[in-house]
Amino acid sequence: MDLEGLDRELREKTIYGIELARERFRKRKEPNNSKESFILFAGTGGNPEAVLTQNPYTAGFIIKLEQFLMWVDPGPSAIVRARELNIDLGSISAVYISHGHQDHYGGAEPIIEGMCWGMFARRGFLLAPGKVLDDRMISPFHQGINTGFYSGGPEVVVLKALTPVEIGKVTVIPVAAYHGEENYGFILKYKNLAIGYTSDTNYILSYQSLTGVKKVERMGPVNDFLEVVDYREDLKKFFSEVDILIANVTAHNSWMHRHLTTLGLAHLLKDSKVKLAVLTHFNYCCLYPEDLREKMARYVREKSGIKTIAGKDGLKLELNPEGV
């Protein structure tokens, strides 16, 4: 064997491969994004069971509005879904993390690296609660701190309730959620379009049962529910005004103390201006032993009178920024 020749070939081809990688990941130019606008659901799962099974994927969703692209709550399978869905990570404008649970932030770091071109470019925005940043759920490196040899990183924005964040022509307004520690859904506005995201949140505070009014407590399924009595009036007020509402329901009638549920969503949507509601963040019980997602959407649709669909992994909704 000609070892010298083999060595020379490996050296030359390695150098060539490195140059190609640099062109792709480090020396690239700002993308000329298409005028296309859409919401793409990379994953629609939620809670530990979905994290462990990845059925549905826990990868969050993407909002693209012409030149703007934001990945919301990229969970553990986000980087794999980016490849499967042919998402150019280097075209991302912002990463939004609602709160510090694995299914919402667990896949954010590689997405941030892609947004920042392998951490060699100072570009893009990381929007997250202070709790997530301070507790280093996103590493200092991926916050653009102590990057050492690497010179890149995002511009970090600490979310505060109802304090607008301007990114180009897009406005993101964080909305406080009720799910334990610091957590924010949002209302996103661009041109004539408003998109709401509930994040994980309690909504129903008390309900009428056959034996009287009951407060929602830490419990499993609620089987004696008749109608909502007390609820989070601020959430109904904020989200009733959007065109499209992305709702983390988790289940139909369980975990009301920290999740919206489809019982709660139907009440929130009643008499609202919402044109389309999309269910997502499905617990394992929504798929097994029977797939209940379409029935959950039908319940909300018929109870509220608002068009409602069940999100599925890979669902893509085309948008018109001049209106829905």
- Element housing 211 (H / E): none
* Res. 132: pLDDT tops 70: yes
Q: Which residues contact 204 (CB under 8 A, 6 or more apart)?
A: 216, 228, 230, 231, 256, 261, 263, 264, 267
Closest CA to 196 of 299, 274, 288: 274
* Res. 207: pLDDT tops 80: yes
**pLDDT score at 48:** 92
CA pair distance 123, 84, nearest whole angstrom: 24
Task: Look at 237 and 221; give whichever has higher pLDDT.
Answer: 237
CB 258 within 8 A of CB 251: no
CA pair distance 89, 69, nearest whole angstrom: 10
**What tokens does 297 get?**
């959407």
Q: What is the pLDDT of residues 170-180, one digit of tens each?
A: 999 999 999 98
pTM (2 d.p.): 0.95
CA pair distance 291, 284, nearest whole angstrom: 9
The half-sphere exposure of 278 on its side-chain side, counting CA atoms within 13 A, is: 23
CA pair distance 157, 48, nearest whole angstrom: 27
The share of the chain scoring above pLDDT 90, in percent, equals 89
Q: What is the pLDDT of residues 34-75, one digit of tens each?
A: 789 999 999 999 999 999 999 999 999 999 999 999 999 999
The half-sphere exposure of 175 on its side-chain side, counting CA atoms within 13 A, is: 23
Which sign does the torsion angle of CA 76, 173, 112, 322 carry?
positive
Sorting pLDDT into bands at 50, 70 and 90, what band is 149?
Answer: confident
Query: What residues are paired with 244 via a beta bridge?
Result: 195, 276
Any idea where the domains of the chain sit in the sequence?
30-318
CB 117 within 8 A of CB 90: yes
**What tokens does 254 get?**
């369980």
CATH superfamily, domain 30-318, is: Ribonuclease Z/Hydroxyacylglutathione hydrolase-like (3.60.15.10)
Q: Count Cβ neighbours within 10 Å for each residue of 60-94 and write b for 16 or more, e otherwise.
A: bbbbbbbbbbbbbbbbbbbbbbbeeeebebbbbbb
Q: What is the longest distance spanned by two Cα atoms in the chain?
A: 88
The half-sphere exposure of 204 on its side-chain side, counting CA atoms within 13 A, is: 31
User: Distance of CA 53 to CAs 47, 105, 159, 282, Å?
Assistant: 10, 17, 30, 12
Cα 28 to chain centroid, rounded: 27
The share of the chain scoring above pLDDT 70, in percent, equals 99
CA pair distance 95, 109, nearest whole angstrom: 10
Query: What residues are paired with 96 via a beta bridge?
Result: 72, 127
Task: Look at 148 and 281; give whichever has higher pLDDT.
Answer: 281
